[in-house]
Chains A and B, each alone.
Chain A
Amino acid sequence: MPHWNKYLNLSAGPLLSIIVAMLIGAVFILAIGHNPLDVYYLLFSETLGNSYGIGQVLFKATPLIFTGLSVAIAFKAGLFNIGAEGQLNIGAFASAWAGFTFVSLPWYLLIPLSILAAFAAGAFWASIAGALKAKFGSHEVINTIMLNFIALALVSYLVNNVYLVPATIHTPGISPNAVLARFDIITGLFKGSPFNISFLIALAACIFMFYLIKITPLGYEITTLGFNRNAARYAKMNISRLTVAGLALAGGFAGLGGMNFVNGYKHYFEIGFSENAGYVGIAVALIARNNPFAVIAVAIFFGVLEYGGLTINTMVPKEIVTILQGLIILLVISLSYLFDKKNFRIKHSPAIG
């Protein structure tokens, strides 16, 4: 089994990071007078030990799969997408807008339209950074950060000044025909959790990315660009077009991430729904090493942390999991230096500007 070694090597760094982060977390837990073993036992048993918990975990993991894919596809093209947070918000708003605007459409038209709107809006938002890079050479790192804040201000304007339902902070509800059903209603499993069909869209997106990279010419060109910019230039690839396409795909994936909340859970768009999923997506892609299937596993682990925080909140402030998330990322990039210097580190450490 020659592959086992490879996979073991690849996962050693992340696994060790998780263990060390949890040890540091244990110090915090001890310091406030609780037994870390009790707390961690509760965290894992309440998340993975019953079908409601698993449903909650998968619900929390769904947007992280999308934002993880978003950052991963951009990395494949040698681009650093820090803009998933903004793209997620723009996409979510677009999906809600489609849902509450075209209320008379039947579900088989309205759901594809919502998916299209979310993808297109996210893709458009990210391609602004792509076009700026292609045309003016300005770096996507700072531009995607700036576009995040512009996106948040824009959706805040749209919700508060244009589409507000009075006395709330959300838009009107979407048509019942735009709703992505919850699994507890369809299957009876995961009772009470908002885990819904958008998880299947996330899995489809992973498969889509896998085949895009593996067999399509565009995927080949994107990988070449990410691997070696000069090689792509020699091969007469259109680098400007690839830059825009890479970021547009990234934005599209992130844009779909909001459907989990909008179409699957609350059935409206609300300011602040994203809970930093765009930034956590960076961690997901990094640990998954841009592999679309590994993204699913890592997103589920982060889902465990996010929902797990709520389950231990009576003993330890739930923010302990945010601390763990930050520590895991720091440790992953630090340990990679100590372990495999060659493979793990991002080659194009981007300067700002």
Chain B
Amino acid sequence: MDEIFVIAFTFQTLRITIPYLLPSIGGVYSEKGGVVNIALEGILLMGAFFTTLGTHISGNIYTGLLFGMAAGLLTALIHAYITITLKSNQIVSGIALNILALGLTKFLCKIVFNSSSNSARIIGLETLDLPFNPFLLVCLIVLGVSYYSIYKTRFGLRLRAVGENPEAADSLGICVSRMRYAGVLISGLLGGLGSAWLAFNQHSYTDGMTAGRGYIALAAMIIGKWNPLGAAAACLLFGLAESFTLQFQDSAIPTQFIQMLPYVLTIIVLAGFIGKATPPAADGIPFEKKD
């Protein structure tokens, strides 16, 4: 293997890993606080579309980024309101938001770009920029900050407390709802950021472009045992596997089996074959304050 190949392979792997990693860490924040966020897929779709729209309108990527992150944040806000304030079922809310996002992005795409399958071309970022790619830097910062904030700060302690034992946290005067909102909203921002990368990298929005990445991000979060570093490692593993299939198209293993890898691994990890994967104790359970 020559040097150019190694570099190209590394860049390709990182390029694939970024849109898994950011939402995956978002998922960690959300679930550490006790809210299951299946809406990640919808957040990514919305983020990707609005990034494209913002860039298309303004002609610069910063406005696009702002649009994308705002769309992710707004989608997450709906999920937070329904599951935290209204205490409705988190799984159903997530699935409904994914359906809504699917419809809304296609609808708007047809209105704005006169096609329900793809947008006009936007500026975006060139893949070749990777060594100096701001997104890579952002990923590293997010990774460091997330680990530090979740495990070393008062915010993180409180977030984990409302995800593990909201009654106890509540009795200590921690506002459970506020912490849970924070977790879900951070996941919306990070999801928006991750999908902005997708749109910039592809220079457009295309129908269904997120292709289940929100679910893969969730899978990585579980395999990483609800730890940002673990999640990042799982994302990198998925990125490597995918990069490998792209590089060796005619290999003996059909691509579909590589595609299955994240999902099969998740099932194996959940079953406890590779250590024990324990979610936050109150993950998925609405908190009802006792009067």
Contact = CB atoms under 8 A, between A and B. Distances in A.
Interface secondary structure of A, over-half rule: helix
A32 interface: yes
A208 interface: no
A157 interface: yes
B283 A351 contact: yes
A351 to B, nearest CB: 3
Given A322-B102, A325-B103, A350 B91 contact: yes
Interface residues of B, number: 54
Contact of A330 (B78, B102, B282, B283): B78
Nearest to B266: A146
A326 B263 contact: no
Given A136-B271, A317-B110, A319-B110, A283 B96 contact: yes
B158 interface: no
Given A149-B215, A353-B270, A141 B277 contact: no
A330 B97 contact: yes
A321 B277 CA distance: 39
Interface string B84-98: 001111111101111
B230 interface: no
Interface in B94-127: 95-104, 106-107, 110-111, 116
Contacts of A345: 87-89
A337 B96 contact: no
A342 to B, nearest CB: 12
B283 A333 contact: no
A36 to B, nearest CB: 14
A147 B86 CA distance: 30
Interface string A33-46: 00000000000000
By CB atoms of chain B within 10 A, which of A149, A160, A329 has the most? A149
B222 A352 contact: yes
A327 B36 contact: no
A231 B129 CA distance: 62
Interface in A320-350: 320-327, 329-330, 333-334, 336-338, 345-346, 349-350
B271 A138 contact: yes
B157 interface: no
Contact of B100 (A160, A280, A327): A327
B156 to A, nearest CB: 20
Contacts, number: 166
Interface string A126-161: 000000100110110111011101100110110011
Contacts of B130: none
B289 to A, nearest CB: 14
B271 A132 contact: yes
Nearest to A341: B87
A145 B89 CA distance: 16
B99 A132 contact: no
A125 B269 CA distance: 19
Interface of A: 28, 32, 80, 82, 132, 135-136, 138-139, 141-143, 145-147, 149-150, 153-154, 156-157, 160-161, 276, 279-280, 282-283, 286, 317, 319-327, 329-330, 333-334, 336-338, 345-346, 349-353
25 contacts: A82-B91, A138-B272, A139-B270, A143-B267, A145-B38, A146-B219, A149-B260, A153-B260, A157-B254, A160-B256, A279-B95, A283-B99, A319-B102, A319-B103, A319-B110, A320-B107, A323-B103, A323-B107, A326-B103, A333-B82, A333-B89, A334-B86, A345-B87, A346-B89, A352-B31
